[in-house]
Amino acid sequence: ETGVTQTPRHLVMGMTNKKSLKCEQHLGHNAMYWYKQSAKKPLELMFVYSLEERVENNSVPSRFSPECPNSSHLFLHLHTLQPEDSALYLCASSQGGSSSYEQYFGPGTRLTVT
Amino acid sequence: RKEVEQDPGPFNVPEGATVAFNCTYSNSASQSFFWYRQDCRKEPKLLMSVYSSGNEDGRFTAQLNRASQYISLLIRDSKLSDSATYLCVVIPSNTGKLIFGQGTTLQVKP
């Protein structure tokens, strides 16, 4: 399936690096999400964009900076990360705004911070 | 207390077995409930919604018990392809936010 794509699929970065994760949805949805999935922990919602406006910022550290230039694209800019930020970062989209329950997930970016 | 709790397992069952997972939630005002499935190293995908009256989709049956604040997923006649992690998802009232449980891992053995 290519409904929601994410690049890169794997990323290794040092704590002083700056990198960006990219998400693109081809489903015509109007809400997009970033989640973090760590080992042995539930998915944690990080950010929600509805109609390109950020409607949720779940107490995420400022070293994570989202950007949503249009309804099809979502970025997560990373800088000065910590080793505990190593996780799978999942992007999702939904129709009907951010209140829609059925979210379609991308394959994720597996991030390792060294 | 976690908002959504699941037994992480793993549940190891033989093919053809019936297996059930429970999930408890802490917010009594929660409105909507779902089961997602996540295969190893893949993204979560919606498996089924959970309605107050219970619902069935082939070999899968989902039930909701509001009084005790838990939902369940029953899988009959397990297949090897059912091996995955099953995520319980709750939407608290009026938030639209999906709250995920940790997931329950199922391994179906030949």
Residues of B in contact with A106 (CB under 8 A): 43
With cut-offs at 50, 70 and 90, classify the pLDDT of residue A100. low
Provide the pLDDT for residue A38.
Answer: 93
Q: Among partner residues A42, A98, A107, which is closest to B43 by beta-carbon distance?
A: A107
Residues of B in contact with A103 (CB under 8 A): 46, 98
- What value does the mean pLDDT take over residues B28-48? 91
pLDDT of A98 > 60? The answer is no
Rounded to a whole number of angstroms, the distance from the CA of A103 to the nearest CA of chain B is 8
Interface touch A102/B103, C-beta < 8 Å: no
With cut-offs at 50, 70 and 90, classify the pLDDT of residue B96. low
Q: Which of A32, B97, B40 is closest to A21 using CA atoms?
A: A32
| A6-64 tens-digit pLDDT | 999 999 999 888 999 999 999 999 889 999 999 888 999 999 888 777 777 778 999 99
> B32 pairs with which residues across the strands?
B91
With cut-offs at 50, 70 and 90, classify the pLDDT of residue B64. very high
Distances (CA, A) of B59 to A23, A102, B21, B76, B79: 34, 21, 14, 5, 10
Interface touch B46/A102, C-beta < 8 Å: yes
3-state class (DSSP) for residue B98? coil
pLDDT of B12 > 90? The answer is yes
